[in-house]
């Protein structure tokens, strides 16, 4: 019995070792724990029941594997399917840009070979492992997770996982898998809709701020222009880099964030880049040009005190150098400054200044300072909200929050709040409604 178990486990180890393309799945924690567990079980089956340290080894290994799987939110089979969908390998990379029937036959054969192996391993998960351990005389092992949490997944990914789950030959799904790679990308790009550039690499944002179009009140013409530009970009036309300029609290950032909710099913992704990281923009652009999705690089509250490395890097991405501009990338930036770079009266030459200045062409310096904002093809202006727009936003947010007050009372409170705090703006309206909701509920 032990020898039969050992041979069965060894066969699984050989199959895993023979993966040709999808070896990157072995680098994940749950996979490493699984491979270690198989090794521990095989060692115990080889030595027999006399070796108590071997027993402790496989029990600890099972606990580590179970904990790793539980942390993913999947059961074992669904977890392996998800790893196939995110794997970054030669097949998934080429499938993003090349039709399946044009890929090398050897690459297709290798992909089918690996799908067969991973499918076999997916059927040798929790229940099989428990049976194996119980055959060794241990009956205190928990069963595998039965349901996967797929609420966080996109409809496209959820649908394909369900197809894999219900198919007894995963190689038949190779065309749909290739189509998925072409539409959704691989690796981190298929797991997240929003990213931030952090310490030299892209980091997925698990819980992005999903602003819905219905939450945007006022500034209709600006919204229509931004959405029209984004739709043209998604349709394959050359979109325009856009600067959203104006008063604080007018919803410039929220309008950009709303694009992610509106267009994520069409492949749009947002990448947040802090002002201090703008020097990395050329690096980011080179990374993003290699994947099929469309990207908006979002720079919030953009301004510069003086010309710097960050300033020059942004100019390169907006207008280009010898490298061709990526056709899947736009920059959307918000700012309270129209020309982005701090200006001084001394920058504007007068006749006397021209004669006293050591600079031969001071007007050139001034034009250079104004040139960055000109590189944005669109500039959308957001003026301070008037009372009508402010109260309209307040009523919308109050209705969404379930606040039940007479219009006159709500208007009076909202205007008082704006006078005592930060003026009439969308941000002020949100702060007022948050405070009012808590205040009313605490008094009830």
Name beta bridge partners: 419: none
Confidence bin at 140 (pLDDT 50/70/90)? low
Query: Which is it for strands 194-198 and 201-204: parallel, antiparallel or unpaired?
Result: antiparallel
* pLDDT at position 2: 65
* pLDDT at position 296: 94
* pLDDT at position 92: 93
Residue 131 and residue 127: Cα distance in Å, rounded?
6
Question: What confidence tens digit (pLDDT) does each residue in 89-134 have?
Answer: 999 999 988 899 999 999 999 999 999 999 999 988 777 787 787 7
The fold for domain 204-382 equals Rossmann fold (3.40.50)
Residue 39 and residue 59: Cα distance in Å, rounded?
12
Instruction: Provide the b/e sequence for 197-229 (b: ≥16 CB within 10 Å).
Output: beeeebeeeeebeebeeebbbbbeebbeebbeb
**3-class SS of residue 331:** strand
Overall average pLDDT of the 13-35 stretch? 90
Residue 144, pLDDT above cutoff 90: no
Q: Which of 87, 99, 116 is nearest to 28 (CA)?
A: 87
Residue 37 and residue 401: Cα distance in Å, rounded?
50
Confidence bin at 84 (pLDDT 50/70/90)? very high
Question: What confidence tens digit (pLDDT) does each residue in 389-411 have?
Answer: 888 888 988 888 888 888 899 99
Question: What confidence tens digit (pLDDT) does each residue in 314-353 have?
Answer: 777 777 654 567 888 999 988 877 665 555 445 555 545 5
Name beta bridge partners: 149: none
Phi/psi class of residue 219: alpha, beta or left (left: φ > 0; alpha: ψ in -120 to 50)?
left
Range in 100-109, 152-161, 361-370, 371-380 the model is least confident about: 361-370
* pLDDT at position 147: 73
Residue 371, pLDDT above cutoff 90: no
The reported pTM is 0.72
Instruction: Return the higher-pLDDT residue of 272 and 144.
Output: 272
Residue 29 and residue 133: Cα distance in Å, rounded?
21
């Amino acid at each position: 019995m032990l020898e039969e178990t050992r041979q069965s486990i060894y066969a699984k180890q050989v199959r895993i070792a023979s993966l040709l393309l999808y070896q990157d799945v072995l680098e994940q924690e749950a996979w490493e724990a699984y491979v270690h567990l198989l090794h521990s079980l095989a060692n115990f089956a080889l030595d027999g029941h006399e070796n108590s340290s071997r027993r402790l080894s496989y029990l600890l290994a099972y606990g580590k594997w179970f904990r790793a799987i539980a942390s993913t939110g999947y059961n074992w089979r669904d977890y392996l399917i998800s790893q196939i969908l995110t794997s970054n390998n030669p097949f998934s990379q080429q499938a993003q840009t090349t039709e399946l029937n044009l890929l090398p036959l050897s690459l297709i054969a290798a992909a089918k070979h690996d799908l067969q192996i991973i499918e076999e391993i997916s059927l040798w998960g929790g229940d099989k492992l428990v049976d194996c351990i119980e055959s060794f005389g241990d009956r205190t092992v928990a069963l595998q997770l039965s349901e996967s949490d797929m609420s966080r997944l996109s409809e496209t990914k959820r649908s394909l996982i369900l197809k894999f789950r219900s198919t007894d030959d995963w190689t038949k799904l190779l065309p749909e898998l290739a189509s998925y790679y072409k539409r959704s990308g691989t690796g981190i790009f298929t797991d997240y809709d929003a990213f931030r550039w952090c310490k030299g690499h892209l980091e997925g944002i698990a819980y992005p701020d999903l602003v819905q179009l219905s939450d945007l009140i006022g500034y209709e013409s600006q919204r229509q222009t931004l959405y029209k530009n984004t739709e043209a970009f998604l349709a394959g036309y050359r979109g325009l880099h856009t600067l959203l300029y104006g008063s604080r609290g007018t919803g410039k950032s929220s309008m950009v964030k709303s694009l992610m909710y509106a267009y994520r099913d069409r492949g749009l992704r947002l990448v947040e880049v802090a002002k201090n990281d703008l020097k990395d923009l050329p690096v980011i652009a080179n990374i993003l040009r290699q994947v099929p999705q469309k990207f908006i690089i979002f720079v919030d509250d953009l301004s510069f005190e003086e010309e710097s490395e960050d300033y020059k890097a942004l100019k390169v991405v907006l207008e280009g150098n010898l490298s061709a501009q990526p056709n899947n990338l736009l920059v959307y930036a918000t700012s309270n400054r129209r020309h982005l770079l701090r200006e001084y009266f001394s920058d504007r030459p007068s006749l006397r200044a021209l004669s006293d200045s050591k600079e031969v062409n001071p007007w050139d310096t001034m034009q250079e300072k104004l040139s960055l904002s000109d590189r944005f093809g669109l500039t959308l202006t957001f003026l301070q909200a008037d009372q009508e727009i402010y109260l309209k936003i307040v009523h919308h947010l109050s209705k969404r929050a379930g606040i039940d007050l007479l219009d006159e009372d709500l208007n009076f409170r909202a205007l008082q709040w704006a006078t005592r705090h930060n003026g009439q703006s969308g941000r002020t309206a949100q702060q007022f409604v948050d405070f009012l909701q808590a205040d009313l509920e605490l008094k009830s």
